[in-house]
Structure 1
Amino acid sequence: MPASKRTCLRAGRGLVRPVPRLFTALVPPTTIQTELADVAAPLAGVRWTPAENIHLTLRFIGETDEAKAERYAESLARVRVEPFILPVGGVGLFPTRGPAKVLWAGVGNGHTRLYQLRKQVDEALLAVDAGLAMPGFHPHFTLGRIGESYEPKELAHFLERHRTLEAPPFRVADFRLMSSELTPGRPPEYRVVRSFPLDRDPVP
């Protein structure tokens, strides 16, 4: 959403700051982020994701005030899934039909607990807001966003070169509630609102 149309909160001394956009995510280790970012190539029209911003979105929530964000956090704290190993591999495009918009790396096979985690996260969020949008889940790490000026042949060659991309699997030991602030001409700025370890005692 353009910054000029975003909802804002009145801050101290008359300043206005945007309402944060929240989402839940898995953040891979720095080594995995760096390895995925290293596939970046000089492709015209592709805006690459900085290594520190690479993550897997479990569910996008949207603009949320502080009170509701706290309710989401309290509900998410009740999620219980055992830690698991997540494989990372393969590249592709979204959407699968029409002009390409997103270049991504996938998560391979054998990630049943990822879907268990996503299901519990969705249930926790819906317990706070039953009207929250729940589109389909296609787990991926966004490598770059594709603009109108990209060269289809160059992009096809890139996909062919990296179709067998495989990063080391990593242990998922937590998930995070995160905020995103958008500034025109700059990558999104992500902040961790709260982290939720998976290896916790069961809820009484």
Structure 2
Amino acid sequence: MQTFLAIDIPINMQSKLASQLRLIKEDYPQFSWVPKANFHITIRYFGEVNNVEKLKKKLDLALFDVPAFYLYSQGAGVFIQRRILLHILFQRQKTLEALAEKVDIAAEGVRYSENPPFVPHLTIARYKIPSRQQYLHLKKKLEHLDIDIEFPVDKVVLYQSIFHAQAPEYKQIAEFPLIKD
């Protein structure tokens, strides 16, 4: 079972973000845009996990004392891997960094080996690698994109990825509440 741990984007922020992305989506219709219902911030991708119950127990123990916190967007950008990923960055903060580190430690031996260092982001679109000129044009457009969302994080969610031709489906496996003040 393909799994990952994520922060959900509240429904009101999904709509606000979709509205803020409207113009750039019109400029790049050839991109594969993430449906707003699939917006999330991946904390850790685990890949294929055979013993989900064991992973759930490890995460439950690791996250029992993590306090709730707020996330604030910090702009849009591009990651280049096998293809380009358009993303919304979020401000780094101690609570979020500590949460990600606890997850890494808890998932030792379970996690997928190709995880890059944690960068809090929300993938909004994917596309093949563009030409240098297209990339520079896109990067400039993203720098001028006005993204402004913030929301409280009071839980993290373990999901199963189910891959379909159009878009992946994310099925919730477990929820881990964070401590509220």
81-90 or 32-41, which moves further after superposition?
Answer: 32-41
Whether the 8 Å contact between 1:83 and 1:199 is mirrored in structure 2 is: yes
1:99 Cα deviation from its structure 2 partner:
8.0
- Which structure ranks higher in relative contact order (CA pairs < 8 Å, sequence separation ≥ 6)? 2
Cα RMSD (Å) of the superposition?
2.3
Between the two proteins, what is the percent identity of the paired residues?
Answer: 27
- 1:135 maps onto 2:144 in alignment: no
Superposed, 1:23-172 pairs within 5 Å as 23-38=4-19, 39-40=21-22, 41-42=25-26, 43-65=28-50, 68-78=51-61, 79=63, 80-95=65-80, 101-109=84-92, 111-126=93-108, 129=109, 132-133=112-113, 134-148=115-129, 152=134, 155-156=138-139, 158-162=141-145, 164-167=146-149, 169-172=150-153
Residue 198 of structure 1 aligns with an amino acid whose one-letter code is L
Structure with the greater alpha carbon radius of gyration:
1
Residues 51-105 of structure 1: CA distance to partner in whole angstroms, max 9, x if unpaired?
010100000000122xx1110001111112111111123000002xx88610000
SS of structure 2 residue aligned to 1:81 = coil
Alpha-carbon separation, structure 2, partners of 1:64 and 1:99? 24
Q: Structure 2 regions of 5+ residues with no counterpart?
A: none
Alpha-carbon separation, structure 2, partners of 1:72 and 1:179? 12
SS of structure 2 residue aligned to 1:37 = helix
Whether the 8 Å contact between 2:68 and 2:155 is mirrored in structure 1 is: yes
Alpha-carbon separation, structure 2, partners of 1:77 and 1:93? 33
- 1:196 maps onto 2:181 in alignment: no
Give the TM-score, by structure 2 length: 0.84
53-62 or 146-155, which moves further after superposition?
Answer: 146-155
Give the TM-score, by structure 1 length: 0.75
1:139 Cα deviation from its structure 2 partner:
1.2
Distance 1:180 1:82, change over 3 A: same
Structure with bigger helix share is 2
